[in-house]
Every structure is written in C-alpha cells, then in structure tokens.
Structure 1
Amino acid sequence: MTDLARSAEAAATAGMTPLRLGTRASRLATTQSQTVADAITAASGVPVELVHISTEGDRSSAAISQLGGTGVFVAAIRQALLEGAVDIAVHSFKDLPTTPEPGLVVAAVPTREDPRDALVARDGHTLGELPSGSRVGTGAPRRVAQLRALGLGLEIVPIRGNVDTRIGRVLGGDGAQGDLDAVVLARAGLTRLGRLAAITETLDPLQVLPAPAQGALAVECRADDVRTRELLAALDDAATRACVVAERTTLAALEAGCSAPVAAYAELAEGEDGPELFLRASVTALDGSDGVRDSISGPPADAERLGRELAAELIDRGAAELMAASR
C-alpha cells in the first residue's frame, strides 16, 4: 500500500471532520469544485464536502457589466469563507477581482485547462464560414470587441446563462430551433462538462485572445488557516501560477475590471537559458474600430514585472482611451 493510500485509509478510519468547500451551485461550478475536492482527498486523505452558495451574479439576469462586473460571482463565497461558514472556496480565476481580499489567500492554482475560446456554431461552421449577418452570442465585452474587430459582418448578441443554456440557443432542443447561429464560450468549461463534441472551432489566440486567467481555478482559504494552506499547497502548479500572475498583473496595471475588453494570455516555453514566459495582451474598442496588442517575454520568476511592463506599453499606445470609450 502506498503512503497516499495509507493516509486516506487512516483519515477514513479516524472519522476526520470534512473540510467545507464553498462553491456556486451551477453545474460547471460544482464540477470544478468537485475536481478540487477529489484532488485534496487524494493528496491528503481529508474528506471534503461541497457547500452551495448563491452569489449576486447567480441571482440577477442583468448583464455582468451592469452589475458592476468585478466580483459579482465571488463576493458571497468570500464572505462565507471569512465568517468561517466554509473552509475553502473554489473560483473561476478570471472572476476574481485583481485586488487581494484581506484575510484570504489563493493557496493553490491547479493546472489549468486549455484557456482558448471555442465556437459552437450551427451546421458545423467555423468562424470564417459564418455568413455575414449571422447572430453570434456572447456575454463578454472582450469577446464582443474582438469579434467585431475581425470585420466579418457578424451581429453580436448579448447573452447570459449556463453552458447548456447557451449551447441550446444554437442547437435548440425538444424539437425547437435555436435563435442564434453560434455562441462563443470558454473551451475549459466545455472540457470540464464533457461537451467538447459541440465545438465547431477552437479559436486561435491570433484571432480572439483569451481573458486573463481563463481556464484556471483559484483555491482560496483564510490566510491564518495554516493547516488548510499546507493541504492545498499540494495542488499548486507553478507553471500555471506564473502564467496567471503575469496575465492578471497586466489587467491590474491597466486598472481594468474583469468585464473590460482586455485580453491576456501567457505561455511557458523552453528558451536558450531555461523556461521562458511569453505574454501577449490586447485592449480593443467595444465597437471593434480600434485596438492595441503587444507582447513581452522573460523568466517565469519575473511574471509580475512582465505584466506591469506590458501594461505600460499598452497604455503608451492608447489603451486607457480605448477602455474609457468602452465604459
């Protein structure tokens, strides 16, 4: 028997008190959270139970930008964590405000899924095959801006709802015809829900650059909870954390919220002197009429510096004005 198996068996025998993991109740959120819960138990033998928490973003049908954007899916969960109602919280990292929450710490950033966007289109179309005037649904200003900038003559339709609801707007169901020709979603969510077969094209970042931290999860706990922090450390992936830090530092330095038309995508590759982080970012006018994009590279240990420097370059090229116009 391995040490891990012995640890799990001992925990079960001892009747160890489960850790309480706070999560939104959507199918995607609970799937993500259960994956983290299972990983904690596999690594430590400590059982984990999910606690469903309703957030402002879940209770409202308004556009995220109208709700204030940043934090609407995480504030209630963070409050429950601070109050001790739960021990751990799992968030889609792109939903977290870039300003740290006093008393909390992101103790683990697990290996992330493919961060690219994906198209689900009628008749198997790719983005370039959609006829001019096709109705394409998305709720993200970043996607709206970049899709319009492609100049394909698409009609962009604002949408809300879970993954299945959005796909249903294209593929229909129960004999009903969908009212959209395509939707754009995060590929990571489709992967986690087992819906990869619905994808008709995974979008090249040269066309549509992902949101900062897209595809990554943030596992939070209280900063003073040393035992839980130690348990979660086993889930942390250094490469993912470096990429996400670079992307989110760019977003923070631009002073933009998670609903701004800002994109950032970092990758690690082997350079001449070891691992190298390559970071791309863009800011696009909401109507697609203008935009700035640039890139930078350097050691993964310098992720924050790279993010700040890239943001400064984008600001010098007019990013602030583009964001102000989008508001």
Structure 2
Amino acid sequence: MTTVRVGTRGSHLALTQTGTVADALRKTTKVDTELVTITTDGDRSNEPLSRAGGVGLFTGALRDSLLAGDCDVIVHSLKDLPTAPHPDLVVAAIPRRVDARDALCARGDLTLDTLPEGARVGTGSPRRRAQLLARRPDLDVVDIRGNVDTRLGFVTDGTLDAVILAAAGLERIGRGAAVTDYLSLERWPTAPGQGALAVEVRRGQEHLVRALEHKNTRAVVEAERQLLALLEAGCSAPVGAHAFIDNDLIFLTGRVYSTDGSTILTASHAAYWPDVDAPREIAERAAAELRAAGADDLIAADTGATND
C-alpha cells in the first residue's frame, strides 16, 4: 500500500487531530497519507447531545466508510466511540493521551468559583451539566451545540457567560488562551477516554497503524471505558471516570451523577501494573461498588429507560 487514506470528520478540530495522526503515521512508517473527509450524523444535527442520541452519533458514518473501502484508517475522539466491540473493525492504536481535563472559558477571566450567581454556562454534555449543578446549583446551564469556535463565540458575543470544553481540543486548535479555569480531574472526572484518540482499521489490517500505539494510554482509557460499559451507560450518560498510572499501580475513580447534580456516587480502586488484567479488574470493582450504591437508577433516570 503506497498511500494510506485516513478518514476524518470535517470539523476544524477533527481535521487537526486527524492530521497529527496522519503526520505521525507518515513519519513512523514512511508511507504517504491522504485525508478523506466524511460527514457524520452528529455534524448534520443541531439537537443537544442529550436528545440527539450519543452512541455512534459521530462515529457511524466514519465506520461505514471504512467498511466500504473508501478509506483505510479512521480517527475518532475516543470519548465518542461506543464501548461495544465492532465485529469487523478494531482500534489498532491509541496514541499517547494529552490533557484529559475539562476547561471553563468565561468572560472577564472568571473561574467556576467566581462566576456570578445565575450566570449562564453552556454545554452539550449531560455529564458536564450534572457536574456544574453539583458544584454551583445557582448557575443557569444552557444546552448548546456547534464546533469549538461557535461555542466560544457565545461567550464573545455575550449570549453566555461561559462554556465548558475539553482542554485537549482547545489546545489542539490553538485556542488554549480562551481557558480561564482548568477543572481538576480529582474533583471533576471527565468522559471516559477524553483527551485520547482512537485509530480504527478493518480487522487484519492492524499492522498499518501499530507503530502509533501507546501502551500506558491504552491501559488507563480501557479502565475508564470498561467502567462505562459495565455500567451499561452510553457516552452521553452523566458518568465521569479518571484513571492514571503511578509507578507500579493503576488507579481508577468513577463517578455517577443525577442529572440535577444533587446525587453523586463515587468509587475508587487500584491494582498492580503492568498486570494485563488490571484495567479490567479495577473497572469491575468500581462498577460493582457504584451499582450497589444505586448507579443503575441514576443512569436509567437519565436515559428514560430501565436498561440500556
């Protein structure tokens, strides 16, 4: 194969992060790359994520194009990728993760603690909504959609006092200066896999991108995503997770929120690393603890279903 065709969404952020993957692939394998832009259901819809249907919203069209042979590799923001394995596709590489934090972008350099009572804060994420209301129940949380520049524009034009976005996305497109407050992962765990990219190929073609794999990143994001899967929660559910490796231990903290932020369930577990079963083990223990505490009821209340 002389040229590897890399499929991507057409947003500024998607093109930028896919471009970094294509560049890394070209440097490590000496194979030419070509970007193929694909429009997804998430790009067509203006509905808030809580109503548009989170699972597969940004990934389905990319996967269809890969299966059809229109491209050889696709790149996802890992937090958008469904946790269930695909029968014909495989995430063959997860490059090194960047900043997993959420970031507040507010007028006048305000922080989450200094926003005035009743301030209007925009987000399209049920998790972020729940976290905002848990910490600042006085805020007016507004559902928004749109790309990073559109969302930042709501603050610039005075429509909103602040928005919350992924720090990784802001940094990737050079908009880090808009951040007025980084939200610590200890107090504010983010979406499972946030800050990481997933490079997916057809089964049997893993060799195309294997050089991009980062072992420790895969371990921590697999712990986070397995927790989400075990809770039977979609990627738009009010669930936050943060895993990290420190010396010979891997740690995982998971939190499940009620949509109004009034209830928070937390579980934290650790295991020895690099035991290959450690990510699964800590996810299983955290999921069991959260379910025993009532996580199923909170997730069902959010989805409007008794079982996902």
- TM-score, structure 2 normalization: 0.95
Q: In structure 2, the residue corresponding to 1:279 is in which secondary structure?
A: strand
- 1:193-243 Cα distance to aligned partner (Å, 9 max, x none): 111111001001233211100000000001122xxx223111100010000
Aligned-residue Cα RMSD (Å) equals: 1.0
Q: Which residue of 2 aligns with 1:119?
A: 104
| Counterpart pick for 2:169 among 189, 205, 209 | 189
The whole-number CA distance in structure 1 between the counterparts of 2:192 and 2:226 is 9
Alignment partner of 1:309 is 2:285: yes
Alignment of 1:21-60 (within 5 A): 21-60=6-45
Maintained 8 Å contact 1:24/1:30: yes
Alignment partner of 1:326 is 2:306: no
**Structure 1 residue ranges without an equivalent (≥5):** 1-15, 173-177
Maintained 8 Å contact 1:147/1:208: no
Q: Which residue of 2 aligns with 1:218?
A: 198
The whole-number CA distance in structure 2 between the counterparts of 1:318 and 1:134 is 31
Maintained 8 Å contact 1:23/1:51: yes
Q: In structure 1, the residue corresponding to 2:209 is in which secondary structure?
A: helix
Alignment partner of 1:66 is 2:51: yes
Which structure: larger Rg?
1
Residue 36 of structure 2 aligns to which amino acid in structure 1?
A: V
Q: Which residue of 2 aligns with 1:9?
A: none
Aligned-residue offset at 1:152:
4.5
Alignment of 1:95-134 (within 5 A): 95-134=80-119
Alignment partner of 1:295 is 2:268: yes
Q: In structure 1, the residue corresponding to 2:145 is in which secondary structure?
A: coil
The whole-number CA distance in structure 2 between the counterparts of 1:66 and 1:51 is 29
Maintained 8 Å contact 1:150/1:207: no
Alignment partner of 1:283 is 2:277: no
Residue 43 of structure 2 aligns to which amino acid in structure 1?
A: D
- 1:246-281 Cα distance to aligned partner (Å, 9 max, x none): 0000000000000100010101111xxxx2111011
The whole-number CA distance in structure 2 between the counterparts of 1:49 and 1:304 is 36
Q: In structure 2, the residue corresponding to 1:185 is in which secondary structure?
A: strand
Aligned-residue offset at 1:304:
1.2
**Structure 2 residue ranges without an equivalent (≥5):** 304-308
Q: In structure 2, the residue corresponding to 1:82 is in which secondary structure?
A: helix
The whole-number CA distance in structure 1 between the counterparts of 2:49 and 2:64 is 20
Maintained 8 Å contact 2:258/2:298: yes
- TM-score, structure 1 normalization: 0.90
- 1:79-126 Cα distance to aligned partner (Å, 9 max, x none): 111111110000000101110111111010000111010000110011
Residue 191 of structure 2 aligns to which amino acid in structure 1?
A: A
Identity rate, percent: 52
The whole-number CA distance in structure 1 between the counterparts of 2:226 and 2:57 is 20
Aligned-residue offset at 1:151:
3.3
The whole-number CA distance in structure 2 between the counterparts of 1:25 and 1:17 is 24
The whole-number CA distance in structure 1 between the counterparts of 2:46 and 2:35 is 25
Q: Which residue of 2 aligns with 1:204?
A: 184
Stretches of 4+ moved more than 4 A in 1? none
